Chain A
Amino acid sequence: MNAAPPALTSAVTFAPFLDANREPAITGLFTAYEQKVYAQTNRLFWWLLISQWVCALLIALVWSPRTWAGIESSIHPHLMAAAALGGMLVSLPLALMHWMPHHALTRHSVAVAQVGFSALLIHLTAGRIETHFHVFGSLAFLALYRDWRVLITATLVIVIDHLLRGLWYPESVYGVPLAAMWRTVEHAGWIIFEVAVLVWASFVSRREMWEICRRQDAHQQLLDGLEQRVSERTRALEKEVSARARMTQELTRSEDRYRTLIGNLPIGVFESTKDGRVLLANPYLLSLLGLPADQDLTKLNMADGKIIQPEERQRFWANLRAQIHVHGFETTLRTVSGDLIQVRMNARRGLNRDGTLSCEGTLEDVTARKLAERELELVHERLVTASRQAGMAEVATGVLHNVGNVLTDVNVTVQDVLDRLRTSQLSHLHSIVEAVQNERPRLASYLTEDPKGQQLPDVLIQLETLLTEENERLRIDIENLARHFESIRQIVVTQQSSARLCGLADKVAS
């Protein structure tokens, strides 16, 4: 019920130019401001109407409590009018103030009631001219609504009242029995004079209200912007704080991991200054040097020559001066028990906070590795020797095998030649030569007459054919032998070449 329709509650009659984007917000602020003004003025009139009612009752009680007829009296109609009519006047405005505080009807009812109280009080005070000032005061009070229409309503009620009274009973309002119309105009003129000023004041006031709302909106926008920026910045800071917290946790975990890693590394980790102070040494390094894990590092100094020889240390720092990183620097350290250990260091040059040179790096014990390498070299040497001998044996075996094969062929060929020589036809030539020697004196007759002599030329022709074939076979066998010997030479050359390629050449070969 309190939420009145905007068309009736809003008495916006002068809305200055508004930014279209901000118009709803500014109009909302104006409506709230307007309703605040209405509520404040309602509260004023709530007390004012009740006070006027009480005042009317008091006036009636004091001025005309009873009416008389001789010695008989009764309640004066003015007292009844003050009670009843006054109550009637305040009833609706007070009810509307309660149920519809922002409704225009409430304000108009207040205007009617206020003007009605003017009439009632004028009646109750015997038409005193001073009481007529109540009308002007009432209009001024009604102007507090800053709603010109309320003033118009009050003015209309007053003017209509004067018109009707002026027409029907002018004495009651003008004090004369015959009142010309100009008296009504005159009275109305004074009212309109005041109302005109009050209406103008209402317009000015409403314009100022718009201005205030526009400024309030601008301030609110600024405030909202600031709040938004603060909110965004707060969120960003929260994110940053959260990120930093996560980073801190990560750093803590990383540091823990680093410490655990450094503590459990199977190599030594160190940080040292050029003057020999030890800033960091992990447990492995300490144990490597034969020191306890809780060794006070401030009592260690690498420059005293107990752990590392001064010349070795100078060589190490010379390398670091030459290059920032040193890799694979090998040296010998002396443990607390006096044992010598071979170490290999990787280090990086750095600067201390005080500007002095420092280095940090890792160190690994390579003593066992060095021993192993030495043993490996010995084994390698033995292996090379054995390999060489095995190679030589293998070469000899190959040569002998191949030469053997060729010699077998040679032997076969030689046996074949020997067989040919044993079965040669050359013996038949000796028989013919012997027969010729025997028949030399009669050689002619023998060749012509003797049957054997007559066969001798044929025998010689056959023998010559056989010997020629035999000679050809022998030539072939000799060529085979020559080829076999060439093969043997090739085998030897080939083996010598192979031995040279494999590094197995031996002076023996030469």
Chain B
Amino acid sequence: MTSRSPATVMIVDDDYDIRETLEDILGSEGYRVLGAANGVDALALLKKGERPNVILLDLMMPVMDGETFCSVWRGDPSLADIPVVILSADPRAREKARSCGATDLLPKPVQLTALLAMIEHYVG
């Protein structure tokens, strides 16, 4: 795999296995992966100055869910140009993605090829 650094993907998901898997897979694909267990952690990373090329965002999370995160993201001009892709198993993910103004959607479970194509699209 060719190194495409410093392309950074932020994973916001409360499921540890998903974060691990994505960090593993995307890491092996040459992406720098930032993991956050909820919206608050994600915002903390962004506050520290992290500027990922794309954010993969789960919806159902403790502390701060995806939708709340979205409203903060949209309200902050310094963040607004970062694409946010909803990665969720929520049956109503499509409506929620629309209503919270997300850039795109990847319903769980996700095919590896579809995942990589999506990231490629926004990082590319």
Say whether A and B bind each other.
Answer: no
Q: Spell out B's residues near A (CB within 8 Å).
A: none
Q: Spell out A's residues near B (CB within 8 Å).
A: none
